[in-house]
Amino acid sequence: MNCAPLYINGEFVETRERQNVLNPSTGKVIAQVFLASEKEIDLAVESARKAFDKGAWRGFSLKERKAVILRIAEGILNKAEELARIETESTGKPIKETTFMDVPSAAKTFEHAANNLENYLINETLAPAQEAGAVLLREPVGVVSLIIPWNYPLLIASWKLASALAAGNTVILKPSSITPLTAFELGKIIHEAGMPPGVVNIINASGAKSGQILCCDKRIDMVSFTGSLEVGKEILRYTSSSVKKLLLELGGKSASLVFADVDIETAVNSSLCSVFLNQGQMCTAMSRILVQEKIYDQFVASFVSKAKAIKLGLSDNHETQMGPLVTDSQRKKIIAYLEKAKTEGARILCGGKIPQDAELKNGYFFEPTVIGNVKPHMHIFKEEVFGPVAIVGSFSDSKEAVELANSSDFGLAACIWSKDLGLAEEVAKKINAGTIWINTYGMFYDQLPYGGFKQSGFGKELGRDGLLEYTRLKNIIIDHSNEGKPLVNYWYGF
C-alpha cells in the first residue's frame, strides 16, 4: 500500500510508525502516511530555522521568489486531476467540488501571491521631521508553523503557504492527521519547483504530540492556525510561553438574513449551498438562516422540499451533491447535538438520520437536516455543529435581524438577501462579522482579506492584509541634522 513520506529539509523521510487514512465514503483504508516522532518534528523545526537564518531563500530577490511560487501554482494545475481525486477520497467531499473549486482555487492563490508580492512588500521612505528621515521595512517574520484543519486541507494549506512563502518565511506545515494526503502531494510539487532545502517542511503527527512543540519552541517565530475554538485556546496558551506572533481562524456560527423582498427561489437555492456545501463542514456555513416573517412559511416549505431532494452518494460520483462526513466521530457529534436540540424543544423538519441506502452503509453519511422552533438560548443556536444542519428561524424587522445575527460568540461571516441594497449595506455595517456577503455566498477573492472577529479569532488570510500578516515592520530612523550633530549630542552640554 502507498505510504506518504514526510518532507523535511528537502528530503522525503520515512519513519518507523505509520497511520492509516480512510475513505469516508466507504470506511476503507486508502493509503498510509508516515508519522513523525519528536525527533522528526525537531528536525523539521531545526531545518526551517537554518534555512531562514543561513540558507539561500533569504537571499532570493523578489523576482526569484516569485518565479518559484509561480512554478508551484503551475505544478498544482499539472496535477489537478490527481489532486482532486485524492482530496475527494480522503475528505469525502464530492468530486465536483474538489475539481471545480478546491484545486483551481489553490493554484490561483499561489499565482496571486507571486504576481503581487512586489506590490504588497513595498518599503516606505518617510520624512517625519525636517531633521529626520525614516525607512519602513517589510521583513519576513522568520520560521512559521502552519497548522491546517481537515475540512479544506489543500486549499487552506495553499492560503497559508502562498502568503508565508511570498513574504520570505520558512515554514513547518502540519496538516490534519485525518486528511494529510494532499499536503504531501503539495510537498512533491514544491520540491519539483526548486524550493531550497528547509524552506518548506511537512510533517504528519497527532495534534497532541506536535501542537505543543510547534507552538512553544523558541526557534519558531509565528503560528498560523485554522481549526476549532477549543484547540485555538490551547494554542493561545502554548504560544504565551514564548510570546510569538499568532494568527487564528476558529470557526463560526454564521447567520444568513433573508428579507421579504427577495426572489424566494434564488434565496432558497443559494441558502442550500451556503449550509450544505462540503456536508456543512465549513467555518463559514450559514447554519442560522433567519427569514423575515412575511415570507417565512413559503421559504421554509421550499427549503425543506429541496433539502430532501439533495442527492447523497459516494464522493467520486460526479452526480453526487453531498458526500459523507469526514469521520464517524463527527457524525456522532452531530447526532448528539440534534438529540439535545430536541430535548430543548426544537423540531426536526427533515433529515436528522443516517441514510439506509445499501450503497452508503459503510460510509459516514448523514441526511441534510433542517430544524425549526429554535430559540436563541438553545445550544444548537449558539454552538458550531459543523455538519449538514440548518436552523431556520424568523425575524420581524432589520433591528431584530441584526440582534439575532449578533447573538453569537462567533463573528466570522454573514449573508444578507435583499433587493434593497441600501438596507442591506446598512445592516452589513451593524453585523459583527469579518466577511459579509450581500445577495451571494462564498465568494472568496485572492485580492480580499478573510478573517473573523470575537471567538472566530484574529488576523487575516488572503489579499495584501493576509500576506502582510506574515511580515514584521521595521522602522529605521536616520538623523539629517546640520553637520551631523543631532539635538541629543548637546543634551548634557558637553
C-alpha cell at 205: 503527527
Phi, psi at residue 5, to the nearest 5°?
-80, 160
Question: For 437, how many CA atoms within 13 A lie in the half-sphere containing its CB?
Answer: 23
Which residues lie below 8 Å from residue 432, measured CB to CB, with a gap of 6+?
405, 406, 411, 453, 454
- 162, with CB counted inside 10 A (0-12, 13-18, 19+), is buried
Angle between helices 229-240 and 207-216 (to 10 degrees): 40
89 is catalytic: no
- Active-site choice (40, 89, 185, 249): 249
Pairing of strands 132-140, 124-129: antiparallel
Could you count the other beta carbons within 10 Å of the beta carbon of residue 357? 11
Pairing of strands 6-8, 11-13: antiparallel
C-alpha cell at 272: 442550500
Distance, in Å, from the CA atom of 367 to the CA atom of 335, rounded to the nearest integer, reads: 11
Q: State the DSSP code for 393.
A: E
- Active-site choice (215, 283, 350, 415): 283
283 is catalytic: yes
Phi, psi at residue 427, to the nearest 5°?
-65, -40
Terminal-residue alpha carbon distance, the chain? 79
Give the residue among 256, 284, 303, 286 at the shortest CA–CA distance from 415. Answer: 256
Residues with catalytic function: 249, 283
